[in-house]
Amino acid sequence: MSSLVSLGAGVVFGLALAAPPGPMNAVIAEESVLRGRLAGFRAGLGAATADAVFFLLAYVGVVAVVESFPLLRAGMVAVGGLLMLYFAVDAARGARASFRPTSGDEPAIEAGKGFRKALVLALTNPYQVLFWLTVGVGMIRPGELDVLSRLPVVGAELAGTFVVATGSPALIGGFFLGVLTWIVGFPAGLVAAERRIETFAPIVAVGSAVVLAGFGVYFLYDAATTVGVLSVLVDVVEAASSGP
């Protein structure tokens, strides 16, 4: 029973992480409406592959290095921001092009584009690294989480009724099952909606461009702020060391 609870909690957690709007879903949406649900699934698979990589790195503790070196983190943020701006321009161009393949087969040159795009964006997304450094590490470490006991007023009475075993294969497997459910269902839903609404594809393409551009600008601002703070700290340290 506890394994089923942990599996179900993992699925809900995976869906909760994958579903909110953001740069990954913008890429999945763009690929889905421009090239079909299979292309959207491949893009989602790219993001999920990055999660698998971060899971392995978090498991062995390597991902903590990113937070140990602020300049490395700032560099990752800046690279991610530039990539998102580049892909935003690509999405905007797609909004003026043909939104569906004219032939039965997708050109070979486009076959892995969405996968590579989402994978690179996810691997350079410091917030995804931060998730695995904090929440992800907590999910991997063996232990128990009594979810309902944390509720106000009724928590004491519900203690023990919904206990999730962290670090269990059921929780980890459920998490990736939830992510997989999203990357299959989201592109299929977009394509189904597009068939009913003729103008849906350009709307999604433009929306994807806006989302990616917004995240790109924010990432660059975050990187510049980090570098600025570090330079101020260096100046303060140098001034203190050269004082009387």
Helix residue spans in 124-158 (DSSP H): 126-131, 137-140, 155-158
Q: In which band, very low, low, confident or very high, does the pLDDT at 177 lie, cut at 50, 70 and 90?
A: very high
Rounded distance, CA 226 to CA 70, Å?
7
pTM: 0.67
pLDDT for 7 equals 86
35-45 pLDDT tens trace: 888 999 999 99
pLDDT for 97 equals 54
Rounded distance, CA 173 to CA 225, Å?
37
136-154 pLDDT tens trace: 766 777 777 665 555 555 5
Supply the mean pLDDT for the chain. 75
- The radius of gyration of the chain's CA atoms, rounded to the nearest angstrom, is 21
Tokens for 99, please give them.
Answer: 């939104």
Q: In which band, very low, low, confident or very high, does the pLDDT at 183 lie, cut at 50, 70 and 90?
A: very high
From the list 145, 149, 126, the residue with the least C-alpha distance to 219 is 126
Rounded distance, CA 175 to CA 131, Å?
14
Rounded distance, CA 244 to CA 242, Å?
7
